[in-house]
Homo-oligomer: A and B are copies of this chain.
């Protein structure tokens, strides 16, 4: 037996999580105050407070003395590990960024992608391919494979203007991500897109994202010369 009786503060946490995950409480919207939760759940203020506090530490909420508690934007959750958005990175260097969408369609996944997306070989997945430019020079190819069960409306968007965390978090709040980084030589067609020779070392980042429902997406970034900065509280 694991838990005969869940703690009261966990019940409140769960309640708030569900409201946010289901989309009933949107980003920036105000969540009930400590006193309101106190009444609603018939608990003491310190118990209600603990629920809000822990969700704030998890990054789901932000609190502000005097004004209230609010649903965090996805961005404010990302303090743990931040791989910077390519557009922001380029603009910080004082350069121009634009992107071109090369593909947006449903495809049959190959074996490797099927495994990484937790699908069966031959299953359908949504696929998009976006090429990013810095001052009109192609610098990064972004290929995304998206689980159609979890993001059914994926094919309706323009992903040159929407960053991954925007489209993903609006459909299913992401709970986890892993990144796998490798140095590779790109295939001939990708070299052509990026205007590089087949001897140019490229950084390849495979990023997988999860929601509570399962694997949401696999993104493969291929970029010559780029630096990725990772910050964290801890090491190794």
Contacts and interface: CB of A to CB of B under 8 A. Distances in A.
Interface of A: 57-59, 74, 77-83, 85, 163-165, 174-185, 199, 201-204, 207, 209, 223-236
A98 B209 CA distance: 35
A4 to B, nearest CB: 16
The oligomer's copy count stands at 2
A164 B236 contact: yes
Contacts of A203: 181-183, 203
7 contacts: A59-B234, A165-B235, A180-B228, A181-B181, A181-B203, A181-B227, A183-B203
A185 B165 contact: no
A184 B201 CA distance: 6
A81 B80 contact: yes
Most B CB contacts (10 A, CB to CB) among A177, A226, A233 go to: A233
Given A199-B199, A201-B201, A235-B81, A230 B176 contact: no
B232 A178 contact: yes
Contacts of A184: 183, 201
B178 A236 contact: no
A78 B233 CA distance: 9
A163 B224 contact: no
Contact of A233 (B80, B179, B234): B80
Contacts of A207: 235
A178 B234 CA distance: 8
Nearest to A175: B233
A203 B226 CA distance: 11
A8 B164 CA distance: 42
A236 B82 contact: yes
